[in-house]
Structure 1
Amino acid sequence: MHHSARSVAFSSNGQLLAAGSLDRTIKIWEVGSGRELVTLQNGSMASSLVFLPLQAVVAAANEDGTVTVWDISQTWLLATLPCSEAPSPTLAINVRQSILLCGDASKGLIHRWDIKSFEPRRDIPVPTDTAAGTWKLLEGGDLLVREDQDGIIRLLNIVTFDVVQRFSTHNSGSDSAIAFAPRSAKVAVAHEYESIGIWSWRAPEAGSIPQEIHMPAPGVHAVVFSPDERLVAYAAENGDVVMLDLGGTEVKRLQSYSNRIENVGIADHSSVLSIQVWYDAHMEIDLRSGGLAQHEAQVISYDNADLFRPEGQFLDRQFFVRNRQDNLQIESAEGRLICTVVLLDKIGKFVIAAPDGRFDTNMDLSDIRGVHWIVSRKGLNPLPLEILMRDYYAPGLLPRLLMGVALPRLPGIAELNRIQPDVRIVSVKAGPTPDVALVEVE
């Protein structure tokens, strides 16, 4: 993934993981297989994420101060809740009370909603001396963290606001990512986007000094404990979500293969679509062939919005290019969607998809990662792109769409036989000659 993961959360059973990214999407992975399942177009960067207990539902506190609640399996937005006039509020779940909480630093309040109906419950005022500092809600919704400029952290009871524990992280930054493991009484704190420190928050013995476990975590933006508290996952600047054991050994890395699009438009000659991805990387798609432009893309600086024109013409047909940040869309002059272009993995790899499901790509069809089918809104059961290759793969699709060529009607995806055979090798035996093997397949 190339668009800077900024928040991360596990589902209560540890089977799913969500990450919010700078491109304003929320991506969901299946932890066991490492598969990316679904991308939610959240509209604002999710700075804090929680899963609702025992549900395929994720809530996000966003950069614009709202809380959005998503049904992952249906990819539906269930609710948008107002939380704060300050950007990037903090979010938590109180499982015992079935309450969703959001910390509103602008008013010094903790807003609460019922997690089934999303009806508001009584707000909790935060004491003035606490509200004046930097504070956030932690997993479980029971404690607050307050971090001073000198690196002092206080764990506070959310009901009485009494100090439960106090210690120094030796970090003067005020924006450290913090996670809490209530059963094992551990706190994880990210340091300067470079490492994670883990402390026990139980009161130390008289005269002893709390010991920190230090683990490298390049580009760390957010950190969370797994539900069994045996692992720490962190969201990194390069977009990966990295899972570590408590000794600091990497045990799994979850990746997405889409690129964040910084700018997109038509180059000086209108037959080239010019795309800038993730700061200064640049590529060009030739509209006449639907493939990469043959010449080498020019090197351009980051501040270059004036180099991109949103409108173009192809054989006298006007179209417009829209940047959706994790993809781009080409629309007709009347506002009709012509196609969506997703940039994958490394520079120069892409998938072009029409509204009817036809697609083209310059990648190996047997190894496309980052784009898949979601049929009948079954967000937790994605299908590989190549499963519908016979009916929907259309080489040279882009110029045909831009020309308005009438394409044959396709059968509905739900009508197609998508059953994949189970194949297993029953036995392997030596053949009649040394260079022959007899393989029995069922």
Structure 2
Amino acid sequence: MAAWSNWSGSVVAEPRAFARPKTEAELAALVSRADKVRVVGAGHSFMPLCETDGTLLSLCDLEGAVGLSADKSRAWCPAGWSLATLTAALWEQGLSLINQGDVNPQALAGAIATGTHGTGAKLGSLSTAARAFRVMLADGSVVTCSADERPDLFEAQRLSLGLLGVATRIEVDVLPAYHLEEKVESHAFAEVSGRWDDLVAANRHVEFFVFPYGERVALKMLNPAPAEGPLQQLSDFDDRAFRVICDLCAAAPWLTRTLQPLIVGRGVRQRRVGPAYQIFPSDRTVKFEEMEYELPAEAGWSALREAIAWIRKRNLPVTFPFEFRTVAADDIWISPMNGRPTVSISVHQYAKMPWRAFFDGVEPIFRAHGGRPHWAKRHTLTARDVDALYPKAADFKRVRAAHDPGAKFANAHLAALFEAA
């Protein structure tokens, strides 16, 4: 079949077969007879998580609908639905997810399997909202797992990287539907640094974007608010002007240092109110490559300053901003947030510009500050690093081996990380 590539175009695979099963029986037949299986959602991973020379599956067409618990505090959801599809369906039922990230094309299963998160010091990743899974194992059989039923499988499946089986349905915690007020403001970097603890305490969600050659940040705050009618402004940022700057810097990298301070100017004040599922995500049409590290909360600012200084000293043409967020601690076995309140720092580079040397330079800075990478973003971990960074890695590998001894669901990248033959 034709080659498959991820969203940014940096990961390319040539699977032997690609299928979009419509029924669970069709899925079981595909899984049981395949030598190797990986499942793809939106292809928004920058690591080769979906790469395979075996069978590549998409669950976007798999039959299913949202099913609610009696008290409407939980919802069984089709795992292959995109977050965009799922959150719109939940809204029609009067419900919202507890939190989301800033894009919504990802499949629910992929977002949970990689620990995707938004921002909020008291809010965990999407994985922390999962309460049960319906999982197809390597032989095509289907099991359900939760804290009470097959608890070991459940603990590993909460953030699994797709190594245990194919999740077909996931039960997640939900909230009554709510609206959010979004404020985007420009402030001096030094001012936000000095007020950060107060900003975190005062807002349900707070984050900022800072360009490595800029002195001002775009501060974004989200809080529940009463509805104010139809949402007029559909995204937080207009990508059109930014795309022009990125293309100029790609053609003339020396312009980067001059143009960047113009992107976030003084006096920016934007406000909008809308349904949570429409406010959380933004249109990100300018393609990029990304690395993200999750650091102990107390180390976030020093790591950010050191990374910016490293870029400035070398005058690197880095066109995209750093993104700085907070995430609550969790107890998930191979979660980057395991056991500690977290600051998340994302670094990006325009897809048309070189990124490897930049990432190779800032990754040791994040590692030196105790960072663990987002599994779907660029990193260079080895199996030894996994064992050192994740105290429960041995438990995860034990459960993985018990449920998929033939490593059907492991590709070369994941087999090397988790010693899956």
Please indicate, yes or no, whether the TM-score normalized by the shorter chain is above 0.5. Answer: no
Structure with the bigger percentage of helix: 2
Q: TM-score range by the shorter chain?
A: under 0.3
Larger Rg over CA atoms: 1
Q: Give the alignment's TM-score, normalised by structure 2.
A: 0.25
State the structure with bigger RCO (CA 8 A, min sep 6), 1 or 2.
2
